[in-house]
Structure 1
Amino acid sequence: MTFSIVARSADGASHGVAVASKFLAVGAAVPAAEAAVGAVATQSYANLAYRPQGLALLRTQVAAADVVAGLTAADPGRDQRQLGVVGPSGSGATYTGAQCHAWAGGKIGDGYAIQGNILTGPEVVEAMEAAFLASDPTAPLARRLLAALRAGDEAGGDRRGRQSAALVVVSPGQGYGGTSDTVVDLRVDDHPTPLAELARLLDIHALLFDKPDPATLIPLTGEIATEVKTRLAALGHAQDDVNEAMADWAGIENLEERMVPDRIDPLVLAHLRAL
């Protein structure tokens, strides 16, 4: 009743899951990921126990294919299950039970597994694989996963329609404030166009929580500093020191992750100018 991709970033630092379905709050059931360990997607009459069990096996360095074999062998309901697993190295692994609703199947390769059921046809997983492989390997994993998911949707997706989607990416110490491994955790639980909404949320997430690109930072001097101080003062953040004014405003706008002393991120400047 779902299509998904589990994958590892090209540098091996990140793992994630992207999923869409004609199912309420698919993100509450399908995805699981642990930094430096791997990712799991359980679907089609999902066995939610696969999530902690799969991650536990990956944690002990069991290969993805062996994780799939172990989980399904012990499950009397395996003929109705679908499962995707990717670990810290090697190929991903996928499983489709014989009694999953047609069309159902998957694709695997180095660092990814793609699977879906009740799809319009095999072209869905084929389009997802092509989009993932064609994406920039240096791009954030969340963007690559979303590109694959959107390609699957455009190829036909879930033949019952659209309802929900989710995106999870983990990487050691790369979450908010450096105190979490969760880089992205976004869900669209019930929406007529869930992937468009998921893309919108990811754009907002990137603005608020991605780290600034040092090569693009603009010095807070001269006319730029004057403009920034003037705009901030008009918003109620008047300070003699432009850095203090920026910090005061950023805390309200949730932009603190993009603050750099004596510099301003061009995305932050554009946001300020738009207010």
Structure 2
Amino acid sequence: MKRYLIFLFSLVSLSVNGQVFKSSEPLAHTFSIVARDSETGEMAVGVQSHWFSVGTAVSWAKAGVGAIATQSFTNISFGPRGLELLEEGKTAQQTLDILLSDDDGRDFRQVAIVDANGNVAVHTGVKCISEAGMRTGEGYSVQANMMLTDEVWDAMAEDFEKSKGMPLAERVVSALKAAQKAGGDIRGKQSAALLVVSGDKNVKPWEDPQIDLRVDDAEEPLVELDRLLRVYRAYEHMSAGDLALEVNDMDKALSEYGAAQKMFPDNLEMKYWTAVALANNGDLEKALPMFREVFKGDKNWKELTRRLPASGLLQVGEDQLKAILKQ
């Protein structure tokens, strides 16, 4: 397969003015979706491919600006250049037209753009490897090339439209799963990525992307991407619990830590901070068995417990602390 791709790469390079493709342009034959949530304004790119680290090449997005997927014989510059054009005020279609206008390799490209207003634009070059196609809907575009069947992009679109009401990230991952179920990449699967940004252009740079998950090399990249998204959601609860703990809102902390632990009951960190919140809330009876399970799993948590009172995060008396450390 590797020799075949190298040969194919060389053949195409020679066939289009001799200088179109560079070794730095990955052959990211793949399926992807770009989408905007009309309620929240969030924008996302989701992608899977039989190519290493597809998320580093295909998916691009910026808060309050837009989202771009650039694939097939990938022109990576379309990502940052496209976002610059969108930020200047160009629409998705105007941006796409400009990007393709001076690209000698346009016939081999596949590009999709959604802007902050929900406008979409997509291009599938006539020389993209079949099965290749695309479908657009309100605020989204799905596209694929080198697929096993010609049902992939329709499967993605139909799944995305049926999942209205779910968070955008979950809708995108669900659409990718539908694409794989419909046949996916003819070569198989290797990597996947999910990128979600805010619809607010004024969001603080360190608060965006909201979600940036990549599975660079795995036998079942979408299974792993789905797991990572669930872990991300659980740690959203953990972060909210931490904030509540800092301001001594133990009821809120317990609620958030409990929600996280319910999602991943075997996670020691989630169990530990739930136990801390219980202890701080005066419910040592419930906290002690949880501390015991955590300490049994990893003794370093016991050492951490010794250090917490000095920071004010564990608010128990000396006798209570001794009881905890005996577990």
Q: Give the structure-1-normalised TM-score.
A: 0.79
Given the superposition, is the C-alpha separation of residues 245 and 230 from structure 1 closer, same or farther in structure 2, using an over 3 Å criterion? farther
The one-letter code of the counterpart of 1:40 is I
Contact 1:103 1:120 (8 Å CA) reproduced: yes
For 1:167, the equivalent position in structure 2 comes to 194
Name which of 97, 109, 115 aligns with 1:87. Answer: 115
Task: State the structure with more CA Rg.
Answer: 2
| Structure 2: gaps of 5 or more residues | 1-28, 242-251, 259-276, 296-300, 316-327
Supply the distance in 1 between the matched residues of 2:164 and 2:202 (Cα, whole angstroms): 20
Distance 1:158 1:152 in 2: 9
The aligned amino acid for 2:183 is G
Instruction: Quote the Cα distance in structure 2 between the aligned partners of 1:31 and 1:178.
Output: 18
More helix by share: 2
Unaligned residue ranges in structure 1 (runs of 5+): 247-275
* Distance in 1, Cα, partners of 2:120 & 2:291: 49
Look up the match of 2:314.
245
State the match for 1:231 in structure 2: 290
Distance, in Å, in 1 between the alignment partners of 2:142 and 2:202 is 25
Please say if residues 2 and 116 of structure 1, whose CA atoms lie closer than 8 Å, have aligned partners that are also in contact: yes
Indicate which of 185, 190, 195 corresponds to 2:212. Answer: 185
Percent of residue pairs bearing the same amino acid type: 39
Aligned length: 243
Q: Structure 1 residues 208 and 95, CA, compared in 2 at 3 Å: closer, same or farther?
A: same
When normalised by structure 2's length, the TM-score is 0.67
In 2, are the aligned partners of 1:4 and 1:114 still within 8 Å (CA)?
yes
For the residues of structure 1 that align with 2:202 and 2:235, how far apart are their CA atoms? Answer: 14
Whole-angstrom CA distance in 2 between matches of 1:199 and 1:173: 27
Report the CA distance between 1:147 and its aligned residue: 0.6
Amino acid at match of 1:22: H
User: Structure 1 173/38 Cα, relative in aligned 2: closer, same or farther at 3 Å?
Assistant: closer
120, 124, 130: which one pairs with 1:102? 130
Matched position secondary structure for 1:44: strand
Alignment partners' CA distance in 1, 2:69 and 2:34: 7
Distance in 2 (alpha carbons) for counterparts of 1:174 and 1:182: 13
Q: CA RMSD in A?
A: 2.9
Q: Which residue of 2 aligns with 1:40?
A: 68
Q: 1:178 to 1:227 in 2, by over 3 A?
A: farther
Cα offset for 1:203? 1.4
1:61 positional shift: 2.2
1:93 deviates by 1.4
* Aligned counterpart, 2:231: 204
Instruction: State whether residues 188 and 197 of structure 1, in contact with CA within 8 Å, keep that contact through their aligned partners in structure 2.
Output: yes
Q: Please tell me whether the aligned partners of residues 174 and 180 of structure 1 are also in contact (alpha carbons under 8 angstroms).
A: no
Contact (CA 8 Å) 2:36, 2:114: kept in 1 or not? yes
In 2, Cα distance between equivalents of 1:162 and 1:140: 25
User: How far apart are 1:116 and its partner, in Å?
Assistant: 0.5
1:60 Cα offset (Å): 1.9
Aligned residue for 2:86?
58
Single out whichever of 178-187 and 56-65 deviates more from structure 2. 178-187
Deviation, structure 1 residue 77: 0.6
Deviations 1:48-101 (A, max 9, x none): 110011101111221112211221122111000000100011331110001100
Name the aligned partner's letter for residue 85 of structure 2.
L
Q: Residue 116 of structure 1 is aligned with which of 128, 141, 144?
A: 144
Cα distance in 2 for partners of 1:84, 1:150 equals: 19
- For residue 71 of structure 1, the aligned residue among 92, 99, 117 is 99
Q: Give the match for residue 264 of structure 1.
A: none
Q: Distance in 2 between matches of 1:16 and 1:48?
A: 17
How much has 1:12 moved relative to structure 2?
4.3
Question: What corresponds to 1:266 in structure 2?
Answer: none
- Residues 205 and 173 (structure 1), Cα distance of their counterparts in 2 relative to 1, 3 Å cut: farther
Structure 1: how far apart are the matches of 2:212 and 2:206?
A: 15
Match of residue 20, structure 1, among 25, 48, 58: 48
Counterpart in the other structure of 1:127: 155
Q: Note the C-alpha offset of 1:202.
A: 1.4
Deviation at 1:200, TM superposition (A): 1.3
Report how far residue 209 of structure 1 moved: 3.1
The answer as to whether partners of 2:36 and 2:118 remain within 8 angstroms in 1 is no
Give the Cα–Cα distance (whole angstroms) in 2 for the partners of residues 212 and 240 of structure 1: 21
